[in-house]
């Protein structure tokens, strides 16, 4: 249930709403906007509470039941677009934010060379996995802490903020100081203890869509982060499982529009994991930008043929530079900057 306060409602009036929610066994979350406060009344059983219970309180403008199963990520709760700040970079505004780098951090040289190249081509955030959630336990699992150290070094050398995947809440202590954006992978979208732990860090995070998750389930996962105190959440569409086998996953372009309608959170697209093949990555990347994505997350490797993970879908430096030129033209046509 969403309680919208009148413009200029006094703090005591908001407190009264909160007290009534608590008295009825509900939790609350506040959205203090520039001109009005919105109170989300949260609980498994809010359906039994009559809206009048809040509507009669002084300072309340309206009370709306949310029929959707997600609340905090919804536009009913917060209509104004969320802007996620990563250093000087803003995700969700007019700037199209490009995050690029290798699937996995393999060596200092590999990471530094890639960072310098993607930065020169216009990417502003460096990606690199230290902990890799591989489908097979026999595949390369990432360099772990050593990888984080390399990432931190390259981050300092280039001045680029970095994004890296967290697969286990126990790794968070080591990651919060060295990583600017925490990535929650598709396989962990419904790992609720991980979501809560990441949410409590308050650090910007990217929440990938699960391999077989509906948009609603994805936004419910975002609610876990938001309910844990996180406000800096970026959604990432990376393709879903379908009957089609010619791509690794099917990129759901329509989810960009659906998210824009139903949520205030920014959405970026990862064309690499959807395509599964370097030749298809540019097509999906261009489509995502044209459809209104707020950014892209792209795998780039100095020598894809010898990459330790996801070489087939990784772009070479030249291919990435060419793609950046095309994306720049699409962004400009849409009135976006890069």
Residue number, 117 or 208, with CB nearest to ligand PEP? 208
Q: Name the residue among 118, 187, 189 with its Cα closest to residue 154.
A: 118
Which residue lies nearest ligand PEP, judged by its C-beta? 185
Q: Contacts with ligand PEP in 106-145 (CB under 6 A)?
A: 129, 133
How many residues of this chain bind ligand PEP (CB under 6 A)?
10
Q: Of 180-188, 211-219, 253-261, 304-312, which segment contacts Mn ion by CB under 5 A?
A: 304-312
Q: Is 231 left (phi over 0), alpha (psi -120 to 50) or beta?
A: alpha
Query: Please, what is the minimum distance in Å from the beta carbon of residue 52 to ligand PEP?
Result: 45
- Region from 41-49, 170-178, 179-187, 317-325 binding ligand PEP, contact rule CB under 6 A: 179-187
The residue number with the shortest CB distance to Mn ion is 103
- Chain length of the chain: 338
Stretch that binds Mn ion, among 113-121, 157-165, 198-206, 302-310 (CB under 5 A): 302-310
133 binds, among Mn ion, ligand PEP, none (CB under 5 to 8 A by kind): ligand PEP
Q: Binding of ligand PEP at residue 103 (CB under 6 A)?
A: yes
Pairing outcome for strands 27-32 and 37-42: antiparallel
Distance CA 316, CA 121 (A): 12
Collapsed DSSP state (helix, strand, coil) of residue 225: helix
CA distance 239 to 269: 9
Which of 3-11, 102-110, 192-200, 330-338 is the region at the interface with Mn ion (rule: CB under 5 A)?
A: 102-110
**Residue among 103 and 219 whose Cβ is closer to Mn ion:** 103
CB 299, min distance to Mn ion, A: 6
For strands 205-208 and 233-237, give the pairing: parallel
Paired tokens of 293:
């994505």
Q: Which stretch binds ligand PEP (CB under 6 A): 34-42, 63-71, 141-149, 183-191?
A: 183-191
- Say if CB 148 and CB 110 are below 8 A apart: no
Q: Answer for the pair 147, 162: CB distance below 8 angstroms, yes or no.
A: no
In the bound state with Mn ion, the residue whose beta carbon lies nearer, of 39 and 103, is 103
* Geometric angle at alpha carbon 126, from 122 and 127, rounded to 5°: 130
Q: Does 199 bind ligand PEP (CB under 6 A)?
A: no
Buried b (16+ CB within 10 A) or exposed e, 223-240: bbbbbbebbbbbbbbbbb
* Residue carrying structure tokens 């824009």: 260
- Cα 219 to Cα 241: distance, rounded to the nearest angstrom: 18
Nearer to Mn ion, 103 or 315 (CB): 103
State which of residues 155, 238, 264, 301 lies at the interface with ligand PEP (CB under 6 A).
238
| 102 forms part of the interface with ligand PEP (CB under 6 A) | no
What does 185 interact with, of Mn ion, ligand PEP, none (CB < 5 to 8 A by kind)?
Answer: ligand PEP
Beta-bridge partners for 37: 32
Partner that binds at residue 199, options Mn ion, ligand PEP, none, CB closer than 5 to 8 Å by kind: none
How far apart are CB 112 and Mn ion at their closest, in Å? 19
Contacts of 146 (CB under 8 A, 6+ apart): 130
Asked whether 258 and 235 are in contact (CB, 8 A), the reply is: no
103 touches Mn ion by CB under 5 A: yes
Q: Quick check: 186 binds ligand PEP (CB under 6 A)? A: yes
Q: How far is CA 153 from the centre of its chain?
A: 24
Q: Which residues bind Mn ion (CB under 5 A)?
A: 103, 310
Contacts to ligand PEP by CB under 6 A = 103, 129, 133, 185-187, 208, 238, 270, 273
């Amino acid at each position: 249930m969403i309680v919208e306060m009148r413009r200029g409602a006094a703090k005591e009036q908001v407190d009264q709403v909160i007290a009534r929610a608590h008295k009825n066994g509900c939790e609350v979350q506040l959205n203090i906007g520039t001109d009005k406060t919105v109170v989300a009344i949260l609980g498994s059983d809010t359906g039994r509470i009559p809206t009048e219970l809040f509507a009669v309180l002084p300072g309340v403008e309206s009370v709306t039941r949310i029929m959707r199963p997600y609340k905090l990520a919804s536009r009913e709760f917060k209509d104004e677009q969320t802007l996620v700040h990563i250093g000087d970079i803003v995700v969700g505004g007019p700037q199209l934010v490009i995050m690029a780098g290798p699937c996995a951090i393999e060596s200092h040289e590999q990471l530094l060379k890639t960072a310098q190249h993607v930065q020169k081509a216009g990417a502003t955030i460096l990606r690199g996995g230290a902990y890799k959630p591989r489908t097979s336990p026999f595949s390369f699992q990432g360099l772990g802490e050593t990888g984080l150290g390399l990432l931190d070094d390259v981050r300092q050398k280039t001045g680029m903020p970095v994004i890296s995947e967290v697969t286990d809440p126990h790794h968070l202590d080591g990651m919060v100081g060295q990583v600017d954006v925490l990535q929650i992978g598709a396989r962990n979208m419904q790992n609720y203890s991980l979501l809560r732990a990441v949410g409590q860090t308050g650090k910007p995070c990217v929440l990938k869509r699960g391999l077989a998750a509906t948009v609603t389930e994805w936004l419910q996962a975002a609610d876990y982060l938001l309910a844990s105190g996180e406000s800096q959440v970026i959604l990432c569409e990376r393709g879903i499982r379908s009957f089609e086998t010619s791509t690794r996953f099917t990129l759901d372009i329509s989810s960009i529009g659906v998210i824009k309608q139903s949520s205030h959170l920014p959405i970026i697209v990862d064309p690499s994991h959807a395509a599964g093949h370097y030749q298809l990555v540019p097509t999906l990347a261009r489509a995502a930008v044209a459809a209104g994505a707020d950014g892209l997350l792209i795998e780039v490797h100095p020598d894809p043929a010898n990459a330790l993970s996801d070489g087939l879908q990784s772009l070479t430096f030249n291919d990435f530079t060419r793609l950046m030129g095309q994306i720049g033209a699409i962004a400009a046509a849409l009135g976006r900057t890069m």
